[in-house]
Protein backbone atom coordinates (compact mmCIF):
# COMPACT_ATOMS: atom_id res chain seq x y z
CA UNK A 1 0.00 0.00 0.00
CA UNK A 2 2.81 2.39 0.82
CA UNK A 3 4.43 1.57 -2.51
CA UNK A 4 1.17 2.32 -4.33
CA UNK A 5 0.78 5.63 -2.52
CA UNK A 6 4.41 6.56 -3.30
CA UNK A 7 3.95 5.51 -6.91
CA UNK A 8 0.76 7.58 -7.26
CA UNK A 9 2.38 10.58 -5.63
CA UNK A 10 5.21 10.31 -8.05
CA UNK A 11 3.18 9.76 -11.23
CA UNK A 12 0.39 12.27 -10.66
CA UNK A 13 2.68 15.31 -10.71
CA UNK A 14 4.46 13.88 -13.74
CA UNK A 15 1.11 13.26 -15.40
CA UNK A 16 0.01 16.84 -14.71
CA UNK A 17 3.34 18.20 -15.89
CA UNK A 18 3.06 16.25 -19.13
CA UNK A 19 -0.54 17.37 -19.52
CA UNK A 20 0.44 21.01 -18.93
CA UNK A 21 3.19 20.68 -21.54
CA UNK A 22 0.69 19.27 -24.04
CA UNK A 23 -1.75 22.08 -23.29
CA UNK A 24 1.04 24.62 -23.72
CA UNK A 25 2.07 23.04 -27.03
CA UNK A 26 -1.57 22.98 -28.19
CA UNK A 27 -2.01 26.63 -27.22
CA UNK A 28 1.17 27.58 -29.07
CA UNK A 29 0.01 25.70 -32.16
CA UNK A 30 -3.41 27.32 -31.97
CA UNK A 31 -1.77 30.72 -31.63
CA UNK A 32 0.51 30.04 -34.61
CA UNK A 33 -2.40 28.87 -36.76
CA UNK A 34 -4.54 31.83 -35.73
CA UNK A 35 -1.75 34.32 -36.39
CA UNK A 36 -1.07 32.74 -39.80
CA UNK A 37 -4.76 33.01 -40.68
CA UNK A 38 -4.83 36.65 -39.56
CA UNK A 39 -1.70 37.43 -41.57
CA UNK A 40 -3.32 35.88 -44.65
CA UNK A 41 -6.51 37.85 -44.05
CA UNK A 42 -4.66 41.13 -43.62
CA UNK A 43 -2.55 40.42 -46.69
CA UNK A 44 -5.72 39.86 -48.71
CA UNK A 45 -7.28 43.08 -47.42
CA UNK A 46 -4.11 44.98 -48.33
CA UNK A 47 -4.26 43.53 -51.84
CA UNK A 48 -7.95 44.39 -52.09
CA UNK A 49 -7.23 47.91 -50.86
CA UNK A 50 -4.59 48.35 -53.57
CA UNK A 51 -7.03 47.11 -56.21
CA UNK A 52 -9.77 49.35 -54.84
CA UNK A 53 -7.47 52.38 -54.77
CA UNK A 54 -6.34 51.82 -58.37
CA UNK A 55 -9.98 51.43 -59.47
CA UNK A 56 -10.87 54.55 -57.54
CA UNK A 57 -8.08 56.51 -59.23
CA UNK A 58 -9.24 55.25 -62.63
CA UNK A 59 -12.85 56.26 -61.99
CA UNK A 60 -11.72 59.62 -60.64
CA UNK A 61 -9.59 60.26 -63.73
CA UNK A 62 -12.44 59.30 -66.08
CA UNK A 63 -14.82 61.59 -64.18
CA UNK A 64 -12.35 64.47 -64.36
CA UNK A 65 -11.81 64.01 -68.11
CA UNK A 66 -15.56 63.80 -68.74
CA UNK A 67 -16.06 66.91 -66.62
CA UNK A 68 -13.49 68.89 -68.57
CA UNK A 69 -14.94 67.71 -71.90
CA UNK A 70 -18.47 68.64 -70.83
CA UNK A 71 -17.38 72.07 -69.59
CA UNK A 72 -15.58 72.69 -72.90
CA UNK A 73 -18.75 71.62 -74.77
CA UNK A 74 -20.73 74.02 -72.61
CA UNK A 75 -18.38 76.88 -73.45
CA UNK A 76 -18.64 76.34 -77.22
CA UNK A 77 -20.70 78.95 -79.03
CA UNK A 78 -23.69 76.68 -79.66
CA UNK A 79 -26.64 78.17 -77.80
CA UNK A 80 -28.68 74.95 -77.83
CA UNK A 81 -25.75 73.00 -76.28
CA UNK A 82 -24.39 75.44 -73.74
CA UNK A 83 -26.26 75.00 -70.45
CA UNK A 84 -26.80 71.22 -69.95
CA UNK A 85 -23.20 70.15 -70.72
CA UNK A 86 -21.86 72.92 -68.51
CA UNK A 87 -23.95 71.73 -65.53
CA UNK A 88 -23.10 68.08 -66.23
CA UNK A 89 -19.39 68.93 -66.53
CA UNK A 90 -19.41 70.82 -63.24
CA UNK A 91 -21.17 67.81 -61.67
CA UNK A 92 -18.54 65.41 -63.02
CA UNK A 93 -15.70 67.63 -61.79
CA UNK A 94 -17.36 67.85 -58.37
CA UNK A 95 -17.65 64.06 -58.21
CA UNK A 96 -14.01 63.64 -59.22
CA UNK A 97 -12.90 66.20 -56.62
CA UNK A 98 -15.01 64.46 -53.96
CA UNK A 99 -13.39 61.09 -54.73
CA UNK A 100 -9.91 62.56 -54.28
Q: How far apart are CA 88 and CA 30, in angstroms?
A: 57
**C-alpha angle with apex 40: 34 to 43, nearest 5 degrees?**
140
Q: pLDDT tens digits for 49-81?
A: 666 777 888 888 888 888 888 888 888 777 776
Q: What is the pTM of this model?
A: 0.46
Ranges 6-10, 35-39, 46-50, 76-80: which has the least confidence? 6-10
- Alpha-carbon distance of 71 to 82, in angstroms, equals 9
User: Residue 8: pLDDT above 60?
Assistant: no
Amino acid sequence: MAFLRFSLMRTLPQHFAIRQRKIRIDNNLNYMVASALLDERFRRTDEMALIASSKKKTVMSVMAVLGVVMVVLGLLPFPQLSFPPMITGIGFLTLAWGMK
